[in-house]
Amino acid sequence: MARLRDLAKKPSPLTSGHRACSGCAFPQVARQVLLAADTPVVVVIATGCMEVATTIFPYTAWQVPWMHCAFENAASTLSGIEAAYRALKKRGVLDKDIRFVAFGGDGGTYDIGLQALSGALERGHRLLYVCYDNQAYMNTGIQRSGATPTYAYTTTSPAGKVIPGKTQKRKDLTEIVVAHDIPYVAQSTPAHWNDLITKVQKALAVDGPSFINVLQPCRLGWTFEADMAIELARLAVDTCFWPLYEVVNGEYRLTYRPKEKKPIEEWLKLQRRFRHLFTPENRHLIDELQAEVDRKWERLLKKCGLA
C-alpha cells in the first residue's frame, strides 16, 4: 500500500511548465506511475499528446532517462532497450537494478501499436506498458479510435441525422492483454492514486511483462470544464464503466467496488461528446449503454468470484 507521506518526499519525475492542456489528467498519471518506482527507470513514450506537450524543443519536462519513438512502436523500442540492458548486465558492464516503462495513448496502443505491444508481451520482456486511455486520437483532431465508446461524438464519427456518434463497440484492450497470459494486468485511474501506485509497484516487481490501462479524461475530446477530470475518472469507476481490477497470473481480483453503483447517465451527462444522447429521439441509446455496462460488470464479478 502506497503512503502519501513517502511519495511527497520524492522529487517529481515530471516537472511543471509543460504545455499539456489545463485540466489534462496525463501529468498526474505520469507522476503517479513514476513515483511508484523505487529503482531508476527508463521511459519510452509514443508520439502523441503528451510527447508533444512535454518535449517541445529544446525543452523537456521529464526528469528521468526518456526516449521518444514513433506512434506505433513504443513497445518495440522499449523491448530493445530492455534487451540491451540485460545483455550489458550479463557482461558485467552494468550492475544497477533498472525498470523500463512505456507510455502510449489509446491510438498508439489499442490500434496502430497493438502489434508491437503483442509482440513485446509474447517475447516476455521485463517492462511495464502504461496506456493512457483518453478514448480517441486526440493529438491529431479527436478522431475515433478502437477505445472510443459507442455513441461518442468524434470528428470522424459525428453525431447527426445519419449516425448517433460512433456505432461500433469499444475494444476491450485489457482483456486482449490478459489473453497473452502475462504475469500482471490491471486497470486504474488517476482519481484513485493509491490504487494506481500500488498496481504500478506490483507491476514493476514481476519478472516479466506487465500492463496497466489507465483511463485519462481528455478535456478537449470529451469536452468538460477544466477542473472536472478527476471527478469524471471517479464517476467512470462508480458507474462501473471502468472497473478497477487486476489479473495476477491469470487470477482476477476486483480492487474497488462502489458502495452505490451509479447509472451511466451520471457520467455521460457531464461530457459534450454525449450530449446528443439526451434528445428525445436518442434517449433509448442511453438504456442500451446501461445494459452493456451492466452485462460487462456482472461478467467481471463472476471472473473475480464475487457473483
pLDDT tens-digit readout, 60-84: 999 999 999 999 999 999 999 999 9
Where do the structural domains in the chain lie, given as residue ranges? 9-303
Confidence of residue 41 (pLDDT cuts 50, 70, 90): very high
Task: Inform me whether the pLDDT recorded for 98 exceeds 70.
Answer: yes
CATH of 9-303, one of 3.40.50.300, 3.40.50.150, 1.10.3720.10, 3.40.50.970: 3.40.50.970
Task: Inform me whether the pLDDT recorded for 196 exceeds 80.
Answer: yes
Confidence of residue 5 (pLDDT cuts 50, 70, 90): confident
The CA angle 183-184-187, to the nearest 5 degrees, is 160
The reported pLDDT for the residue numbered 135 is 98
* CA nearest to 118, candidates 212, 196, 24, 182: 182
pLDDT tens, position by position, 208-226 = 999 999 999 999 999 999 9
Contact at 8 Å (CB) between 141 and 155? yes
Query: Who's near 13: CB < 8 A, 6+ residues apart?
Result: 30, 31, 34, 35, 41, 62, 63, 64
Q: Is 226 helix (H, G, I), strand (E, B) or coil?
A: coil
Q: Where does the chain show beta strands of DSSP type E?
A: 41-46, 66-69, 99-105, 128-133, 184-188, 210-215, 245-248, 251-254
Chain centroid to CA 167: how far?
22
Task: Inform me whether the pLDDT recorded for 194 exceeds 90.
Answer: yes
Confidence of residue 1 (pLDDT cuts 50, 70, 90): low
As a whole number of Å, the end-to-end CA separation of the chain is 26
The reported pLDDT for the residue numbered 7 is 83
* CA nearest to 99, candidates 114, 118, 86, 115: 86
**Mean pLDDT of the region 247-276:** 98
pLDDT tens, position by position, 155-167 = 999 999 999 999 9
pLDDT tens, position by position, 125-179 = 999 999 999 999 999 999 999 999 999 999 999 999 999 999 999 999 999 999 9
The reported pLDDT for the residue numbered 9 is 84
Measured on CA atoms in the order 106, 143, 216, 293, is the torsion positive or negative? negative
**Mean pLDDT of the region 1-13:** 82
Give the separation between CA 184 and CA 189, rounded to whole angstroms: 17
* CA nearest to 130, candidates 191, 212, 71, 64: 212
Q: Which helix (H) or strand (E) holds 283?
A: helix 283-303
Contact at 8 Å (CB) between 63 and 14? yes
Name the one residue in this structure whose C-alpha cell is 477542473: 227
